[in-house]
Chain A
């Protein structure tokens, strides 16, 4: 409930929200800190922080490399928690964890939720955990008041969307196209029809991600989605131009 309400409040006075993605420990926690500061100051509404995993099956080359480099530098799950605790104290927007299920499973599901709650995390995105596999996960999400973010895709049937929606909370993450993160999506007629199906299947806010890269993309989403997700693009920007470039880029999106 928390996350949804918070997003709804933020939506008052804005035509679309922005969510960004960072990979924890890449290129360093130091740079993560600066990037988040710039993002928040230039009006980002929500940030998903990825705890790196050695087998990021759903991620494209940019985020895959970021995961691997972060781990090669020794990033540990506990460090990610301490970093989250620090960041959520400093900034007053919702922060989510994104990670693969093994990280949570290995940490211990209940312990993970307990620590995530202590660290001020309000939602979890786990791309390799369909609800059928997540019975205990979903029960814990409810009792710890952390929103499990469910995912709609263009291959989801209407029936499947309605099924997923029963378990979702916070918002629904609509994947803009087939494939992995990072490649450009064409937001065409077919996409609009898909988004309409998403809208008809849920009352939760809709976030659209995968291949959203420019002001033009975000313009097209206005009125159709509640939140646009920028992922790989800012990671590439930090690689090419450093953390300083992020603020200006985000500001240019609105």
Chain B
């Protein structure tokens, strides 16, 4: 990151003036914490006692035999507390909030995992908490809303624009400019104004650091390929960073193909020609927008990938050909999820299932003595309503109908 927050052509901090001072303080606290080895120690200790770090690297033997190519390893961020990689970033920012002496946190959430993690952190650290969530996502991710409220957070459904992640971000910013004195905005992904992209990636780097050690232990050499889904890009940055510049390791980001690259109903920013450079939500990156610069509606079966922009750091790595970007459609994702459950007894989140789908397309052609890592960013049981609906599961439908009948009495 340069002194203005840019990575190559991308990033920056396009913020309303009222936030200038608070960003100065945040940057300073972040800089101090990064230089302070005690901070990182406190962070690692917190994550290994309050959460399940290090998360395991699982050898997926059955999937490996099924495809007959390279060995498949799965990095299990689903086993983190709150069920996703999101906790890594949130607990880190929570420690910063304590250092800054703020008493209230706010966050946006798409799939609800970041909101969940933030509500958890707020409960643990005794902070007031408000979560902004697109109205459409509130419906898609009802179980997470329930838990956030139970942990004492206020969940505000956002009814503006496309009623998804980007609108929740706008609304969180509106809250922040109003309550800037006591409030920290726990940005959920490696996007937004500097220092968020770099800071969030730093907290997430714990994923790749562990994975590198684990793969050396189990496989004896570096993996040939690493797959991660890319919405905002924080889980991908988390696992990729450690392997950047490692000889023979190819990094693949899998974006949400929705109904297909030609359908217009997708969230493919870097692996389709649909996105163009733009500045919104405080940073410069490749956005899905029209010729006037108005953001388009995106679509994905996975709420957490349903987003118009992408991490400026990933745009830079894309520019420099250090990460390859692919996409997987909703249908491919459901198939990959189904196969993973049946073969391994593991339920990846719909977001993470994109990484699985991307890997499954290629792994059969890769050499048997090589290994790949798939980053399972989160667990899928939060998606039970969406997944059951997509599978048109008859017994689940019957259960819902019965339960509704009971409640409406």
Contact = CB atoms under 8 A, between A and B. Distances in A.
A71 interface: yes
A54 B21 contact: no
Contact of B20 (A127, A130, A178): A130
A180 B177 contact: yes
A120 interface: no
A59 to B, nearest CB: 8
Given A129-B14, A133-B12, A178 B289 contact: no
A55 B280 contact: yes
Nearest to B166: A55
B14 A77 contact: no
Interface in B118-167: 160-161, 166
Interface string A69-105: 0010000110000000000000000000000111101
A231 to B, nearest CB: 15
B174 A57 contact: yes
B176 to A, nearest CB: 9
A198 B15 CA distance: 20
Interface in A123-141: 127-130, 132-133
Contacts of A132: 4, 13
A160 B15 CA distance: 15
B20 A155 contact: yes
Contact of A53 (B173, B291, B293): B293
A54 B280 CA distance: 10
A157 B18 CA distance: 10
Q: Chain B contact residues: over half helix, strand or loop, or mixed?
A: mixed
A130 B17 CA distance: 6
A242 interface: no
Contacts of A128: 14-16, 279, 282
Given A54-B294, A55-B166, A175 B279 contact: no
A107 interface: yes
B265 interface: no
B179 interface: yes
Given A57-B16, A155-B20, A107 B174 contact: no
B174 A155 contact: no
Contacts of B277: 105
A45 to B, nearest CB: 24
Interface residues of B, number: 37
A64 interface: yes
A248 interface: no
A127 B160 CA distance: 20
A12 interface: no
Contacts of B13: 130, 132-133
Contacts of B180: 155, 178
Contacts of A151: 16-17
Contacts of A150: 17
Contacts of A201: none
Interface string B20-64: 111000000000000000000000000000000000000000000
Contacts of A76: 292
A99 to B, nearest CB: 9
B282 A175 contact: no
B280 A102 contact: yes
Interface string A136-158: 00000000000000111111110
B271 interface: no
A47 to B, nearest CB: 22
23 contacts: A58-B177, A65-B160, A68-B160, A68-B161, A101-B279, A102-B287, A102-B293, A103-B292, A103-B293, A105-B293, A128-B15, A130-B15, A132-B4, A133-B12, A133-B13, A150-B17, A152-B17, A153-B20, A155-B20, A156-B17, A156-B20, A178-B180, A180-B178
Given A65-B160, A101-B279, A153-B17, 19 more contacts: A58-B177, A60-B174, A68-B160, A101-B14, A102-B278, A102-B280, A105-B277, A105-B279, A106-B276, A106-B291, A107-B293, A128-B16, A130-B13, A155-B21, A155-B22, A160-B20, A175-B18, A179-B18, A179-B174
The 4 closest A-B pairs by CB, nearest first: A106-B293, A179-B178, A153-B18, A54-B294
